[in-house]
Amino acid sequence: MKKRLATWVSLLTIFAMVTAGCSGNGGNANGNANSGADSGTDGGGKKGEKTEFLFWTPFSGADGPFMKEIVDKYNSSQDSYKIDFVIQPNGEYYKQLDVALSTGKDRPDLMIMHLDQIPTYVNKGQLQPMDNLASAAGINKADYVEAAINYATIEDKWYGIPLDIHPLVMYYNKDLLEAAGVTSPPTNREEFDAAVEKATNKDKGIYGYVVPTLWPQQFIFPTLVWQNGGDLWNGTDVAYNSPEAIEMIEWMRGMVDKGVSPGNVQQDGENTLFLQGKNAIQFNGPWMKSQFDEAGLNYGVAPMPQLGKAKQAVFGGSHNFAIPKDVTDENIIAGIGDFLKYVSSNSLEWAESGQALASKPMLESEEFKALPQSAIAESFPYVQFAPNVLNWPTISEPIWGELNNALLGKKDAKQAMDDAAAKSKQAIGK
Amino acid sequence: MKTTWTSRLTSALFALPYTVCFAMFLLFPIGYGVYISLHDFELLSEEHPFVGLSNYIGIFTGGTYENSVFFRGLWATAQFVLFSVPLLIAVGLGLALLVNQLPGRIRGLFRTFYFMPYAISASVMAVIWLMMFDTNAGFINSMLMKLNLNTIPWLTDTPWAWVSLIATTLWWTIGFNMIIFINALNEVPEDYYEAASIDGATAWSKFVHITLPSIRPVMLFVMITSTIASFNVYAQPFLLTRGGPGDSTKVLLMNVLDHAFIRKEVGSASAMAILMALLIMIISIVQYRLTYGRKERGA
């Protein structure tokens, strides 16, 4: 009997160990986050329990430490609230978020959300309006860039407080432009065409503008279409196969034909050449800055030139603070308000990561104006975001493969965009 | 009798950790996947109504988005499987034979060299090969230019994109197959070769009549695992070609993941994944039957 008992006990023990081992992995991420935050601050004379809340971000790249610094400074600046700061892997962010929101387990109290995701999450009933929180904390809509506020305001309710705006910008190699006799960065199509032609030097393998065929076309293509008076979405249907859009694709492909760009540019090919000093100009996002600094390039940043014929416009993204619908604890909401109020005037660290801020007091501060990326903010009056339509990521997905075909010269531009439009229509069941 | 009962229990206990983890991390997710595939499962929606087989029917109905996404992706994956599996087997075996011919110490060295890439993560693999393949700044094309040869658009034109993806896959994963084959080769009794040598057999006929039949079970194992791995191809095209040029290298798993997490249609994405799993199972069974049948005839 004794032996049997021993067997059962060992069986149970092993079972317990195994199951504990299995689940250990799952809970790990959160456990880490909490312990990390606990070791942070313990200041002041314990007047009562601090209100803690969980803050999720997708800043797994070089930008993570900058946001962490802001959070750490906030945590030690006051005694009432403590933020548990969590970085989720960038590529996994919305998968993790969807799962956390749908199961309600370990969901964040405050999260970073890209502006163009907000309409979708509002439509799914996952976000709560922030109007009350903002007015209680003294956060004014007027203090932020209008385009972002308008986008995040749905049926008169405000769902996202913007942290930054990251429009497409122009990076240029100062040495190459100078050698070509171009004294100032181009601001329109004529200047641009002339500059890239002058900068191209076939013998040295130097190109004026290397045309990307994949990412970051997701930023470039919309910018060019809008600048040329076209649209991606006309309110009811896809519109990116319009003559205005086709003309810009042909213009880009034309640079390959003229030889100011090499052909068959692969993923990141334009950036590789830029880093090697063989590509005079590239269009990319503000987040590239630290890479160029590390490479020791003599480069400049300027707003996108107006390459289309109609108007100045630029495609941008924006990181926003948003709150899940289920967050109801008044202390937590007050804490979030307090933190966001703090961020609106103490986010210079974030600008140092290369981003341009969305808060006007910050934009107008001397410290920000001293940074090279303050040039980016010049484009904020005409910045545009992804079409404000439900499921835009799904609708737009076919563009990139077909645009790739057109820019590689495998398909006629018109044909490629018509094919993409057919796929988009299929995707939304038209 | 009592000792057998406890010894059986002890054996069962040794299998328990695996069984529990297997159930939790494989059996349950598969079952849940099947469950999801029978529902209209929009991740963020509150309700996930049961829709029977309509997700599956949608995939097989011509003209739907699901249909074109699934079959375009399947076609890309099939091309990859068709070219990569024979090479994964042939090159793996070839390397194993070569490495086994080396004298003792160097053998270990080369075994490590060839196995090393297997331990590298997908993103590092991609960084290395993006630099190798770059059309205008890459290592391979620079070499070609030095030799006054035409450069090749490795990742932006077919069939080169496939050549590059398969070459990368070989470099990345061949170490595993090689190690398996080396072990199998070491298991073949030396007497067979000695006897054959006495009978005057050539190296080739020894290989065909002794080596190959002796390692057949391992060959089957390598064939099935390589096929499964090739069907699951994702990281190489996702990171190197991004599915391009156009969507010609956009493999099935890329489409399934887009469908699940960009379109957020987890229900029909699960249906696609289940169909893919069924297809892999059928192909594995066919491979097994072909090898097993031949073995029986041979015996």
Residues A396-413 pLDDT 10s: 999 999 999 999 999 999
Residues A308 and A322 in one domain: no
E strands in A323-414:
356-357, 383-384
| Identity of the residue in B13, B24, B135 whose CB atom sits nearest the CB atom of A266 | B135
- A232 with A180, same domain: the answer is yes
Number of domains in chain A: 2
Gap between the Cα atoms of B31 and B22, Å rounded: 12
Of B68, B154, B261, the CB nearest to A95: B261
ipTM: 0.82
Which residues of B make CB contacts under 8 Å with A? Answer: 2, 6, 9, 13, 16-17, 20-21, 24-25, 42-46, 63-65, 68, 130-131, 133-137, 153-157, 240-247, 250, 258, 261-264
The beta-carbon neighbor of B137 closest among A263, A272, A401 is A272
Residue of chain B whose Cα is closest to the Cα of A104:
B44
Residue A259 lies in a domain: yes
Residues A226 and A95 both lie in one domain? no
**Is the Cβ pair B157, A99 closer than 8 Å?**
no
Q: Which residues of B touch A18 (CB under 8 A)?
A: 16-17, 20-21
Q: In this structure, are A142 and A226 located in the same domain?
A: no
**Are B136 and A213 in contact (CB < 8 Å)?**
no
Same domain, A395 and A380: no
Residues 6+ apart with CB under 8 A from A169: A283, A284, A285, A286, A301, A302, A303, A304, A375, A376, A379
Alpha helices of B23-159 — where are they, by DSSP H?
28-37, 54-60, 65-101, 104-115, 122-133, 139-146
Per-residue pLDDT of chain A (430 residues; tens, 9 = 90+): 455 655 555 555 555 544 444 443 333 333 333 333 333 333 334 456 789 999 999 998 878 889 999 999 999 999 899 999 999 998 889 888 988 888 777 899 999 999 999 998 998 889 999 999 999 999 999 999 999 999 999 999 999 999 999 999 999 999 999 999 999 999 999 999 999 999 999 889 999 999 999 999 999 999 999 999 999 999 889 999 999 999 999 999 999 999 999 999 999 999 999 999 999 999 999 888 888 988 999 999 999 999 999 999 999 999 999 999 999 899 999 999 999 999 988 888 888 888 889 988 888 888 888 888 788 888 999 999 999 888 888 899 999 999 999 999 999 999 999 999 999 998 887 5
Q: Is residue A298 part of a domain?
A: yes
Q: Establish if A86 belongs to a structural domain.
A: yes
Q: What is the DSSP letter of B53?
A: T
CA distance B147 to chain A (A): 17
**Backbone dihedral region for residue A321 (phi beyond 0: left; psi -120 to 50: alpha; all else: beta):** beta
Identify the domain containing residue A370 by its residue range. 48-163+318-384
The answer to whether the CB atoms of A126 and B13 lie below 8 A apart is: no
Question: Measuring CA to CA, how many Å separate A39 from each of A78, A196, A334, B188?
Answer: 16, 53, 24, 59
Could you read off the pLDDT of A143-186 as tens digits, one per residue? 999 999 999 999 999 999 999 999 999 999 999 999 999 999 99
Q: Are A247 and A379 in the same domain?
A: no
Q: Which residue has the tokens 């996202």?
A: A160
**Do A114 and A212 share a domain, yes or no?**
no
CATH code for the domain in which residue A378 is found = 3.40.190.10
Report the residue from A213, A215, A266 with minimal CB separation from B134.
A266
Domain parsing of chain B, residue ranges: 77-251+273-298
Same-domain status, A328 and A306: no
Spatial CB neighbours of B239, under 8 Å, sequence gap ≥ 6: B122, B123, B125, B126, B130
Nearest C-alpha of chain B: how many angstroms from A39?
31
B106-133 tens-digit pLDDT: 998 999 999 999 999 999 999 999 999 9
The reply to whether A95 and A174 lie within a common domain is no
d(CA A257, CA B210): 59
Q: Is residue A32 part of a domain?
A: no
Chains A and B form CB pairs within 8 A to the count of 121
Residues A281 and A340 occupy one common structural domain: no
Distance CA B126, CA A5 (A): 55
Does the beta-carbon distance from B6 to A213 stay under 8 Å? no
**Residues A410 and A264 occupy one common structural domain:** yes
Taking the model in full, what pTM does it have? 0.83
Joined tokens for residue B11: 């054996």
Rounded to whole angstroms, how far apart are CA atoms A319 and B15?
Answer: 49
A273 shares its domain with A251 = yes
Q: What are the φ and ψ backbone dihedral angles of A142, each rounded to 5 degrees?
A: -65, -15
CB contact under 8 A, B155 and A22: no
Interface-testing mutation among A267, A275, A396, A403, with chain B (most B C-beta atoms within 10 A): A267
Domain B77-251+273-298: CATH superfamily, name plus number = MetI-like (1.10.3720.10)
End-to-end CA distance of chain B: 40
**Which residue out of B1, B9, B44, B266 would a mutagenesis test of the A interface target, given it has the greatest number of A Cβ atoms within 10 Å?**
B44
Tokens 């990171």 correspond to B239
Look at residues B187, B264, B94 and name the one whose alpha carbon lies nearest to residue A97. B264
A window 280-299, beta carbon within 8 A of B: none
Report residue B270 as tokens: 């699960």
